[in-house]
Structures are given as structure tokens and as C-alpha cells.
Amino acid sequence: MNPMQLLRRRPTIGAPPSSAQRALDITVSFVLLLLLFPLLALLAVAVKLSSPGPILYRQARIGQGGRPFQLFKFLSTSFRSSGMYCEVR
């Protein structure tokens, strides 16, 4: 089986992925993270320079099987526009 067939194969819902598919998923994810790291670092610097708040936003989400997980996103709005900012008069 060549790698392209592994990418096209769709497992049935609820069936665990094969070990070859899992290894391919982890390898591709790792390579993409390495390639995107310089861009993500520049984005983090730009966010930090343009707003006084944190760089990353953490949110709890419900995943597969109802299991909660933490999602991290770059903060793309300022505190003032997101409603977290309150002016004191």
C-alpha cells in the first residue's frame, strides 16, 4: 500500500485507526509544525507588539466522546473590542 492510499482511506466511525495511519498522521503533523514555526513566532511577536494582553487565548471545548480538551488560539482581538475591557470613569 503506498502512502497516498493511506491518506485516502476512510476508517469507519468508531474504528481505531491503523498503526500505519497513526504514524503517518504524527509524522506529517510534526513536519508541518516545524515548517510553520517561524511564521507562528512572527505572529506571536506581532500580537504582543500590537496589544497589551496575552498572546494566546485558552478555551475549554468538548471533543470526541464528550471529553473536554484545551484549545489554544492566537488572541486576534483587543480587550477593548472583545468586551473584556471596561473603562472606569
Task: Examine residue 48 and state whether it is found in any structural domain, yes or no.
Answer: yes
Q: What is the DSSP string of 6-49?
A: HHH--PPTTPPPPHHHHHHHHHHHHHHHHHHHHHHHHHHHHHHH
Domain for residue 73, yes or no? yes
Q: Is residue 39 part of a domain?
A: yes
Q: What is the pLDDT along the chain (89 residues), one digit of tens a residue?
A: 565 665 566 655 666 668 888 889 999 999 999 999 999 999 889 888 887 878 888 999 999 889 999 999 887 765 555 555 555 44
| Within a domain: 2 | no
pTM of the prediction? 0.53
Domain count, the chain: 1
Kindly state whether residue 89 falls inside one of the protein's structural domains.
Answer: no
Helix (H, G, I), strand (E, B) or coil at 50: helix
In the chain, the N- to C-terminal Cα span, in Å, equals 68
* Phi, psi (deg, nearest 5) at residue 74: -70, 135
Q: Is residue 33 situated within a structural domain?
A: yes
- The answer to whether residue 88 is domain-embedded is no
Q: Which residues of 56-81 are buried (b: 16+ CB within 10 A; e: fewer)?
A: eeeeeeeeeeeeeeeeeeebeeeeee
In a domain, 31, yes or no: yes
Residue 42 lies in domain: 17-82
